[in-house]
Structure 1
C-alpha cells in the first residue's frame, strides 16, 4: 500500500517542521486528533508515540489508533515513523518538508505498507484511501491553518 499527500503552507520550512514534529500538540490544532502522547522520548528527539484520531464519515466518527517509533532529522527537515502497534503495524511514514516559491513550504507525507496484516487488497482499497489518505489530508490542512495563524500572529504581535 502506498499513499501520498501534499500541501503548500504559507510559512518557512522550519515553521512547518516544528508544527509537524510537535505531535503531542496536534490535538490543540487538529480536531480529528483525540490523543497524542509520548510513552518514551519527546517531540524534539523522537521516541515512542501513541496516537489516536477519528476518521469522520458525515455524522459518524470512527476511532483509530496506533503506536509509532518517531525519528526527527532537523537538518533534512524529515520526520519518520514506523508503526509498531495497531492494525497498521509495519507501516512506514515519512514527512518531507521543502522550500517552495515565495517563502512557502511544500509538505508531503508518504505512507508505505509492504506487508499489511490485513492483506494487500484491504490495505490498498480500504485502509489506504479511506483512512490513511483522508486522515493525512486532514492533518496537513489543519497544520497549514495553524502555520498561517502563527505567521499572522507574528506579523501583528
Structure 2
C-alpha cells in the first residue's frame, strides 16, 4: 500500500516543521484527532507516540489508533514514523517539508508505505489506504494549513 498527500502552505519551512513535529498539540488544532500522547520521548527528540483519530463517515465517526516510533531529522526538516502497534503495524510514514519557489511558501508531503502488512490485512490494505490513511492524512494537512496561515495573518496584523 502506498499513499501520497501533499499541500502548499504559505509559511516558512521552520514553521511548517514545528507544526508537523509538535504532534501533542494536534488534538487542540485538529478536530479529527482525539488524543496524542508520548509513551517515551517528546516532540523535540522523537520517541514512542500513541495517536488517536476519528475517520468521519456520515453520520458517525470511526475511531482509529496506532502507536509509532517517531524520529526527527532536524537538518532535513523531516519527520519519520514506523507504526509498531495497531492495525497498521509495520507502516512507514515520512513527512517532507520543502521550500517552494515563492518566498515563505512550502510544500508538505506525507508518504505512507505499508509494504508487508500481515496476511489478513494484506487483503484489506487497499481499502485501509484509500478510506482511512489517505483521508486522515488529507484532513491533517488541510487543518494544519488553516492553523498555520491563520497564525501568519495574525502575526502580520500585529
**TM-score, scaled relative to structure 1:** 0.97
- Which residue in 2 is equivalent to 1:38? 38
- Which residue in 2 is equivalent to 1:16? 16
Q: Structure 1: which 4+ aligned runs deviate by more than 6 Å?
A: none
CA RMSD of aligned residues (A): 0.8
Task: Name the SS for the 1:89 alignment partner.
Answer: coil
Displacement after TM superposition at 1:119 (Å)? 3.4
Q: Deviations over 1:55-110 (max 9, x none)?
A: 00122100000000000111101000000000000000000000012220100000
User: Matched residues in 2 for 1:58 and 1:100: separation?
Assistant: 36
- Which residue in 1 is equivalent to 2:125? 123
- Which residue in 1 is equivalent to 2:74? 74
User: Matched residues in 2 for 1:120 and 1:87: separation?
Assistant: 11
User: Matched residues in 1 for 2:74 and 2:121: separation?
Assistant: 35
What are the equivalent positions in structure 2 for 1:90-105 lying under 5 Å apart? 90-102=90-102, 103-105=104-106
- Listed as ranges, the gaps of 5+ residues in structure 1 are none
- Listed as ranges, the gaps of 5+ residues in structure 2 are none
Count of aligned pairs between the two proteins? 156
- Which residue in 2 is equivalent to 1:107? 108
Displacement after TM superposition at 1:114 (Å)? 0.9
Task: Name the SS for the 1:106 alignment partner.
Answer: strand
